[in-house]
Amino acid sequence: MERVNASLCLENLLIMQENERLRRQAQQLDQENKALLAELKQHEQQQHQGAGGPSGSGGGHSPAAAAANLKAKAAGKQPK
């Protein structure tokens, strides 16, 4: 019985450690997401101010494309 209890305590400890690691990772990803969103909004504002607003012609500057470029930039890669 004591061996089972010790085994369960060890398993519980490992689960708590993994939970803490995942919590820290989630916080880091949340911070990164907020920073990228702020950068995207700033980028969109600059485009709208510089171009006189959205033209509706596409222009290759969709929010999805801008987000992909920001993700690539954050990862240290060249955007496509």
**Could you tell me the residue ranges of all domains in the chain?**
2-49+59-74
pLDDT band with cut points at 50, 70 and 90 for residue 76: confident
| CA angle (69, 74, 77) in 5-degree steps | 70
- For residue 78, the model assigns a pLDDT of 58
Instruction: Band the pLDDT of 72: cuts 50, 70, 90.
Output: confident
Residue 50, pLDDT > 90, answer: no
Rounded to two decimals, what is the model's pTM?
0.55
Contact 79, 67 (CB under 8 A): no
**Residues above pLDDT 90, as percent of the chain:** 57
**pLDDT value, residue 57:** 47
For 11-34, what is the mean pLDDT? 99
Q: How far apart are CA 55 and CA 46, in angstroms?
A: 14
